[in-house]
Amino acid sequence: MSSTVLDSIIAGVRADLAARVSARPLANVVAAAASAPPPRPVLPRLSGPTLGVISEVKRASPSKGDLAAIPEPAALAATYAAAGAAAVSVLTEERRFRGSLADLDAVREAVDIPVLRKDFMVDDYQFYEARAHGADLVLLIVAALSDAQLRHFHSLATDLGMTALVEVHDAAEIERAQAIDPALLGVNARNLKTLDVDPDAFGALVGTIPAGVVTVAESGIRHADDARRYAREGADAVLVGEALVTHGDPGAAVAEFAAIPGTQR
């Protein structure tokens, strides 16, 4: 079987993880997670009368390469929060996204709103690590996990008090995700195995998501009209990165997104 972009990213994630585990044993991270302040609730912030905006601190991506330098992630996150973001997403994957746990720490100190550790979560260590660094949410990418892993990691995140953003990109993955009864489901218009974007993916899939599940539209959001379309199609929230970090005034962009009326799904 040929290797996909996702396979390559995960191989790098595992290599970097091994170095961190060697430097800081799991027991130490578990203890740090236990002593961290409690996670913040996020679902009410993403299902209000206006579109919830998860604003991302994102320096680079596998599809576009370098996007923005972001020398002060804390300042950017504070701008997002002041403009009405419901949560801040922080890329911590190092090789393709130029992120780090230091970025997560900086953002956590700068804002009081929920923070998502956005990474390729494939090992228990990463979940304790996320909690130890103050994450309120973690990402579970269905395409990267077996059914057993998905179930186990969802339970672990829940046990640690965090909310799992369960990410899918096709009907088969939605069916797999429903087995764990997620409270928060993201439909990514970008196929992580090929990096192709299908802007019609959310609209085509949202009707198969059970009522009561908070839905997030991810990728393909270049400007407010894209976000409005997702809201009309049934999105409770959007996750936006590139369009913000490449914008001349990210605060104004967040405010515009956050003023969009919420879904009537």
Clarify whether 58 is annotated catalytic.
Answer: yes
93, 129, 218, 256: the catalytic one is 218
Q: Which fold has domain 5-258?
A: TIM Barrel (3.20.20)
pTM of the model: 0.95
Clarify whether 167 is annotated catalytic.
Answer: yes
47, 61, 191, 219: the catalytic one is 219
Clarify whether 118 is annotated catalytic.
Answer: yes
In angstroms, how far is CA 8 from the centroid of its own chain? 19
Clarify whether 218 is annotated catalytic.
Answer: yes
47, 55, 56, 242: the catalytic one is 56
Helix, strand or coil, per DSSP, at residue 57: strand
The pLDDT tens digits for 201-238 are 999 999 999 999 999 999 989 999 999 999 999 999 99
Cα(5)–Cα(8) distance, rounded to whole angstroms? 5
Clarify whether 173 is annotated catalytic.
Answer: no
Q: Taking 60 as the threshold, does the pLDDT of residue 1 lie above it?
A: no
Give 200's contacts (C-beta < 8 A, 6+ positions apart): none
Strands 65-66 and 214-218: unpaired
Q: Mean pLDDT across the stretch 92-113?
A: 97
In the block, residue with structure tokens 């949202």: 206
93, 167, 173, 233: the catalytic one is 167
61, 188, 233, 256: the catalytic one is 188
The closest of 4, 47, 13, 33 to 237, measured between CA atoms, is: 47
Clarify whether 188 is annotated catalytic.
Answer: yes
Phi-psi region of 70 (alpha: psi -120 to 50; beta: other; left: phi over 0): left
Helix, strand or coil, per DSSP, at residue 10: helix
Token pair listed for 133: 């660094």
Token pair listed for 24: 């800081």
Q: Taking 60 as the threshold, does the pLDDT of residue 94 lie above it?
A: yes
Token pair listed for 145: 């996990």
The pLDDT tens digits for 144-155 are 999 999 999 999
What is the DSSP code (8-state) at residue 85?
A: -
Contact 185, 173 (CB under 8 A): no
Give 217's contacts (C-beta < 8 A, 6+ positions apart): 186, 187, 189, 202, 227, 230, 233, 235, 237, 238, 239
